[in-house]
Structure 1
Amino acid sequence: MTEHVTITPSILYFGTPVVLLSTENADGTTNLAPMSSAWALGETVVLGLGSEGHSARNLGQRPELVINLPGPRLWPQVEALAPLTGRDPVPAAKRDVFRFEPDKFGAAGLHPEPAELVRPSRVAQCPIQLEATAIQVRPAAHGSFTIIEARVLRVHCAPELVVPGTQHVDPRRWSPLIYNFRHYFGLGPELGHTFRSQTRPSAQLAQ
């Protein structure tokens, strides 16, 4: 049996998916921000954002958003967005690291495309895009983060990722970009599936 050691890591990003979050600015343009604290339960996605960030401020005033899910090949574009903020002036706590950039799409070499049910733009290069609306925006218990509960209104998916004849994303074709203790990874080979999986291989394929 392995003996564990007690540690105090500075961050707890223990392998979470990267999201490119589209929100609406006051002038109607789209702010785009990378984030890595997101999880889904049914048709609700819970997001954790820094309270000083522009995305949290936007969602507190305008609840529409798009949750864009990049694949592993987009990690350079995600990283290009990382030191940028849409907030002007830049908050004092961020000035040593971040710079104001009004055109996040252009700065990262990404392309906007119109959403169907919400005002912020989708990211064309992201294989999965979730149009949503924030139903609750509240401070976290310790105050430095904002928690958003978003209800998904529409899901867009690259056709090659959909199991033919179904509404299911093919988990053998879709690989999210994973943020693992501030390093970027894709998924490895499939190890198995839960008994509740609706995309299990057929008996013939499993043999």
Structure 2
Amino acid sequence: MRRGALRPFRSFLPGPRSMFYTTDGPHGLPHNPFMAVMVPRPIGWISSVDAAGNRNLAPFSVFNGMPCDPPVVFFGPSGQHKEGGPKDSLRNIEETGEFVCNIATWETREAMNASSALVARDVDEFELSGLTPLPSTLVKPARVAESPVHFECVHLQTVHLPSKLAGVSALVIGQVVGIHIDEGILTDGIVDMKKFRPIARLGSSDYTVVDTIFSMIRPG
């Protein structure tokens, strides 16, 4: 093949070995294949407070952002609290209208996992995970000091979604009103992924970390 020529495209058209299942029926696999192929998913580590000011912290792997002006983030709480009713993150955000999205990294992976425990409502996940609460600038919920990136957010909307699961399935949308970035993850004013090392959720209990980076220039 001559230098610079396009490589042949390898086709992966469905064949006899392709599985198919309808989403209103069983898939027959040990874990949810939809979540296993929608990867990698960034983790939104959501801190919030209830109306009395009690802290809560929980990670959500159904999370992403829209780079509009101003930027918007969204995450998907589902199920119900072990004590009944909506989970703390959803309840707190709808009560107070504010939250912080902290970005989980390789260095904070164990603390992030610890904060996902199903515990009583009066448990402070900052204390449970050994994390340091840091005051925010524009909103009441604390930031995770050990995270290098924080998005301070105000609640825009909750969209309730159809679900066969017990409890609520929702999409929480927030407007980012302030952003904190640790200068230690910057190189020449650009976020350096090799310093940042965010983690993301895969399928089952698997995660990944951004260690390999490649660049491509868009045509045109």
Output the TM-score relative to the length of structure 2: 0.74
Kept in 1, the 8 Å contact 2:44–2:75? The answer is: no
Match of 1:5 in 2: 18
Match of 1:104 in 2: 125
Match of 1:92 in 2: none
Is the counterpart of residue 140 in structure 1 residue 140 in structure 2? Answer: no
| Separation (CA, whole Å) in 2 of partners of 1:128 and 1:113 | 12
Match of 1:178 in 2: 200
Output the TM-score relative to the length of structure 1: 0.78
| Separation (CA, whole Å) in 1 of partners of 2:51 and 2:215 | 46
**Offset of 1:86 from its aligned partner?**
5.1
Sequence identity, in percent? 23
Match of 1:67 in 2: 101
Match of 1:98 in 2: none
Which amino acid is the alignment partner of residue 22 of structure 1? S
The one of 64, 67, 71 equivalent to 1:39 is: 64
Kept in 2, the 8 Å contact 1:129–1:155? The answer is: yes
Match of 1:54 in 2: 88
Kept in 2, the 8 Å contact 1:54–1:86? The answer is: no
CA RMSD of aligned residues (A): 2.2
| Separation (CA, whole Å) in 1 of partners of 2:217 and 2:114 | 36
**Offset of 1:51 from its aligned partner?**
5.0
Residue-by-residue CA offset, 1:97-132 (whole Å, 9 max, x unaligned): xxxx52211110111000000000000000111001
**Offset of 1:187 from its aligned partner?**
1.5
**Offset of 1:25 from its aligned partner?**
1.4
- Number of aligned residue pairs: 181
Which amino acid is the alignment partner of residue 49 of structure 1? P
**Offset of 1:155 from its aligned partner?**
0.7
Unaligned runs of 5+ in 2: 1-10, 21-26, 81-86
Which amino acid is the alignment partner of residue 52 of structure 2? D
